[in-house]
């Protein structure tokens, strides 16, 4: 039986297009020091450091954690560097949790980051070559297929785009604060990758996120409420193969079922109070609601349409504003776990959903082929 693990500290940077006031170590420290402050501890209390980010070529530093570990008080400690494409922030939390659940360490600092403005993500996604299609170009055909298969009206994508940006207005750390966002603005924004419009797409951000993970005793004596990690799972599948269904990737289905099973959840839609899902393009909200069996086939967009996924709805999704409002790629997955933790701890401030006891966190990456998911609870089961 594994040790229980809790998140007792959460920190993130103010995410921006370009954080020109900080170095890369400065960016990570901003998030890490906030997480330590939240947990009321210091670097000296940390046993091990786990660092995650997306490809090194985004900043042009090979294995940057080798110079960054000491900025996180890591000298003399174990340090792991995780890289699972866009899901990496989620995987980084999970690897950190494993270090506690295995009873190897009592307190672990997990940090995920990206300083996209140092380089160019479009260049990076294209492998440094011409004819890059960007993430939007890769995902657009699958989104089109979802729309064709379900008959979802086009305004569903606009609705998600507006909802997440309105939520972001309640989140002081979010990159995009667009007070005058509206359906009209979204639908009139430039078509980037048919059917995806500019305002239905995530920004490119500089940012970092950190969490302090600890064991059962640590969670119980934490000065503030703990977020108990009830379940975690990772799944990967090939990116391209005959018969693949990238609209509803099997890895995502199995990953979700794994965490539901571990957390004893049989009806996710009823038993989960809030979800932070990795939605870099608006349509991924209904796609993941279905892809993780929260909604039945063709029912995901109806949850959006009826307002169920709004912050006041019956199944709020991304009250933080989500990836659509802040996207420091390597950190984006960890932000989902961090925001889910804030929700179950009751510490999400203005974007707190009332009475959250169970939260779902999800990150995905690559060609919708890497998944990292977790279920967090306000009380240990």
Site for another protein in 253-292 (CB under 8 A): 254-255
CB of 329 to another protein, least distance (A): 11
Which of positions 76-105 make contact with another protein (CB under 8 A)?
A: 76-85, 91, 94-95, 98-99, 101-104
Gyration radius of the chain over CA positions: 19
Which of positions 294-353 make contact with another protein (CB under 8 A)?
A: none
User: Is 175 within 8 Å of 15 (Cβ atoms)?
Assistant: yes
User: How many residues lie near another protein (CB under 8 A)?
Assistant: 98
Stretch that binds another protein, among 124-132, 172-180, 221-229, 295-303 (CB under 8 A): 124-132
Pairing of strands 206-215, 5-12: antiparallel
List 185, 224, 244, 302, residue binding another protein (CB under 8 A): 244
- Which is nearer to another protein, 103 or 221 (by Cβ)? 103
The CA distance from 87 to 112, in Å, is 11
The CA distance from 8 to 31, in Å, is 14
Q: Which two tokens stand for residue 183?
A: 């359906």
CB of 163 to another protein, least distance (A): 26
Q: Which two tokens stand for residue 325?
A: 């409002």
The CA distance from 39 to 219, in Å, is 10
Residues 6+ apart with CB under 8 A from 314: 308
User: Is 39 within 8 Å of 219 (Cβ atoms)?
Assistant: no
**Interaction mask 168-207, another protein, x per CB under 8 A:** ------------------------xxx-------------
- Which is nearer to another protein, 32 or 338 (by Cβ)? 32
Stretch that binds another protein, among 54-62, 157-165, 305-313, 339-347 (CB under 8 A): 54-62
CB of 272 to another protein, least distance (A): 22
- Which is nearer to another protein, 55 or 380 (by Cβ)? 55
- Which is nearer to another protein, 182 or 250 (by Cβ)? 250
List 366, 373, 375, 378, residue binding another protein (CB under 8 A): 366
Beta pairing partners, 361:
276, 374
Query: Among residues 362, 308, 323, which one has the least CA distance to residue 340?
Result: 362
Query: Among residues 206, 131, 137, 214, which one has the least CA distance to residue 173?
Result: 206
CB of 373 to another protein, least distance (A): 11
Query: Among residues 224, 163, 281, which one has the least CA distance to residue 41?
Result: 224
CB of 291 to another protein, least distance (A): 13
User: Is 327 within 8 Å of 261 (Cβ atoms)?
Assistant: no
Query: Among residues 65, 346, 34, which one has the least CA distance to residue 173?
Result: 34
**Interaction mask 1-40, another protein, x per CB under 8 A:** xx---------------xxxxxxxxx--x-----------
List 123, 346, 352, 380, residue binding another protein (CB under 8 A): 123
- Which is nearer to another protein, 85 or 152 (by Cβ)? 85
């Amino acid at each position: 039986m594994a040790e229980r693990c809790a998140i007792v500290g959460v920190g993130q940077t103010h995410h921006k297009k370009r954080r020109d006031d900080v170095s890369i170590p400065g960016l990570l420290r901003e998030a890490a020091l906030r997480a330590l402050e939240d947990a009321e501890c210091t670097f000296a209390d940390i046993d091990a450091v786990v660092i995650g980010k997306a490809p090194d070529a985004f900043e042009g530093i090979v294995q940057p954690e080798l110079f960054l570990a000491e900025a996180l008080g890591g000298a003399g400690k174990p340090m792991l560097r995780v890289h699972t494409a866009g899901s990496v922030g989620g995987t980084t939390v999970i690897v950190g949790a494993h270090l506690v659940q295995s009873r190897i360490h009592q307190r672990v600092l997990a940090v995920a980051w990206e300083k996209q403005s140092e380089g160019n993500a479009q260049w990076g996604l294209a492998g440094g070559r011409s004819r890059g299609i960007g993430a939007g170009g890769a995902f657009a055909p699958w989104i089109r297929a979802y729309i064709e298969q379900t008959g979802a009206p086009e305004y569903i994508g606009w609705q998600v785009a507006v909802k997440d940006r309105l939520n972001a207005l309640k989140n002081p750390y979010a990159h995009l604060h667009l007070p005058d966002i509206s359906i009209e603005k979204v639908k009139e924004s430039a078509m980037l990758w048919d059917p995806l419009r500019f305002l239905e797409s995530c920004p490119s951000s500089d940012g970092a996120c950190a969490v302090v993970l600890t064991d059962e005793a640590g969670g119980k004596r934490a000065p503030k409420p703990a977020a108990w990690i009830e379940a975690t799972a990772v799944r990967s599948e090939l990116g391209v193969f005959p018969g693949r269904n990238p609209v509803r990737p099997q890895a995502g289905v199995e990953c979700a079922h794994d965490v539901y099973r571990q957390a004893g959840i049989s009806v996710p839609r009823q038993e989960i109070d809030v979800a932070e899902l990795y939605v870099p393009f608006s349509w991924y909200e209904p796609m993941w609601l279905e892809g993780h069996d929260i909604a039945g086939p063709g029912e995901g967009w109806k949850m959006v349409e009826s307002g169920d996924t709004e912050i006041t709805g019956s199944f709020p999704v991304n009250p933080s504003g989500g990836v659509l409002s802040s996207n420091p790629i390597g950190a984006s997955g960890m932000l989902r776990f961090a925001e889910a933790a804030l929700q179950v701890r009751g510490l999400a401030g203005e974007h707190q959903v009332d009475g959250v006891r169970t939260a779902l966190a999800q990150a995905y990456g690559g060609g919708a082929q890497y998944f990292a998911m977790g279920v967090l609870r306000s009380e240990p089961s």
